[in-house]
Structure 1
Amino acid sequence: MKLLNRISVVAAFIFIGINMAGAQTRQEKKAARVAEVKQLIESQNFVFDANYVNPSRGAGRALTSSDYDLTITKDTIIAYLPYFGRAYVAPSYGSTEGGIKFTNTHFTYALKAGKKDGWNITIKPTNKNIGDSRDVQSLYLTVSSDGYASLQVISTNRDAISFNGTIQQRPVKK
């Protein structure tokens, strides 16, 4: 009986040790992710990968394609996002345009600390004469310290729309 008690005590200590080592590893991974997200946001060089859309009208839905994103660098923003909602001005006849798709090199980027943790980013295109981006008035990106984000797109000729997703490092082009 004593042997059984000793074995159970040793097993309990081993189990506790493994759990403590796993908790430290999770904490280290979270700290590394927080540092990575902070560096990406402050360097203004990241990609917002959208995985859920919340239109102003109707139900939200998961995005099944991983191609929808907003790429941000110091000198360019590239949007390739879907649009679900009401448009007040229709695209020209025969146009295959749809969604929120544009590339813009003239914009303002304002970064502020969030209330609890994370960041609030406001991006406003400044050249309204370019046909690709004249509809988008502003982009509001709320980023948590661990990389989860919400993007709200405000347009002139469409209802507002928001997306949920994550912040990722921008892939290196070959």
Structure 2
Amino acid sequence: MKTLRNIIGVTLAGLMLVAVPFDMQAQSKKKATAEKTAEVKGMVDAQEYVFKAQTVIPMSGRTRQITSDYDLKVTKEEVVAYLPYFGRAYSAPIDPSKGGIQFTSKDFEYTATPRKKGGWEVLIRPKDARDVQQLTLTISENGYGSLQVISTNRQPISFSGYITEKKETKK
């Protein structure tokens, strides 16, 4: 009987030693998730971030992975888009080097709305970009996002990627 108690005691002690690291891992994971959510919320509220596109999802055609550095930079002063375009354009650009979605807007409407299941819905309406009517950026709490671009002379196109901090550039 005494041996059985010793075996049960040693087994329970062993289980406690195994369970404690898993609990600590779960707590550190929750802490990291909370920190990431706070960081993303800070970037969205401060209106200082860069959306890095990884995948293009055109209305017609196939989904494509992007290998180059395409992005959408958002600040309080301006929105700068450097994104590719695949799809039907209803009018060709005069300058062939302006084939993608490339513009800088200093006059725009910016609305960030929290979503019910977490994250944010950001609506950007440039007033001084001729071709682009609206950019809708859906951002999750962990920083992943999708961007839909609605143009005047082109089919809508979507991008998926992530947001990151805007790096300061030296002038």
Q: Structure 1-normalised TM-score?
A: 0.88
- Where does 1:109-128 land on structure 2 (aligned, <5 Å)? 109-127=110-128
Instruction: Answer yes or no: is 1:37 the counterpart of 2:40.
Output: yes
Q: Find the aligned partners of 2:19 and 2:65 in 1 and give their Cα distance.
A: 39
Q: Relative to 1, partners in 2 of residues 1:4 and 1:51: Cα closer, same or farther, differing over 3 Å?
A: farther
In structure 2, the residue corresponding to 1:19 is in which secondary structure?
helix
Q: Of residues 130, 135, 139 in structure 2, which corresponds to 1:139?
A: 135
User: Could you tell me which residue of structure 1 aligns to residue 92 of structure 2?
Assistant: 90
User: Could you tell me which residue of structure 1 aligns to residue 83 of structure 2?
Assistant: 81
Q: Find the aligned partners of 1:24 and 1:120 in 2 and give their Cα distance.
A: 29
Q: May I ask how many residue pairs the two structures share in their alignment?
A: 167
Instruction: Answer yes or no: is 1:49 the counterpart of 2:52.
Output: yes
RMSD: 1.9
User: Could you tell me which residue of structure 2 aligns to residue 155 of structure 1?
Assistant: 151
Q: Structure 2-normalised TM-score?
A: 0.89
Moved over 3 A (4+): 1-11
In structure 2, the residue corresponding to 1:22 is in which secondary structure?
helix
Q: Find the aligned partners of 1:104 and 1:7 in 2 and give their Cα distance.
A: 68
Equivalent residue letter for 1:154 = I
User: Could you tell me which residue of structure 2 aligns to residue 17 of structure 1?
Assistant: 20
Q: Find the aligned partners of 2:13 and 2:83 in 1 and give their Cα distance.
A: 55
> Percent sequence identity over matched residues?
44
Q: Find the aligned partners of 2:8 and 2:64 in 1 and give their Cα distance.
A: 54
In structure 1, the residue corresponding to 2:96 is in which secondary structure?
coil
Q: Find the aligned partners of 2:67 and 2:14 in 1 and give their Cα distance.
A: 45
Q: Relative to 1, partners in 2 of residues 1:98 and 1:7: Cα closer, same or farther, differing over 3 Å?
A: farther
Distance apart, 1:61 and its partner CA: 1.9
Q: Find the aligned partners of 1:11 and 1:173 in 2 and give their Cα distance.
A: 54
Q: Tell me which structure has the larger Cα radius of gyration.
A: 2
User: Could you tell me which residue of structure 2 aligns to residue 173 of structure 1?
Assistant: 169
Q: 1:38-84 deviations in whole A, cap 9, x for unaligned? A: 1110111111111111100012122122x111000001101111111
In structure 1, the residue corresponding to 2:53 is in which secondary structure?
strand
Equivalent residue letter for 1:151 = L
Q: Find the aligned partners of 2:51 and 2:149 in 1 and give their Cα distance.
A: 13
In structure 2, the residue corresponding to 1:87 is in which secondary structure?
coil
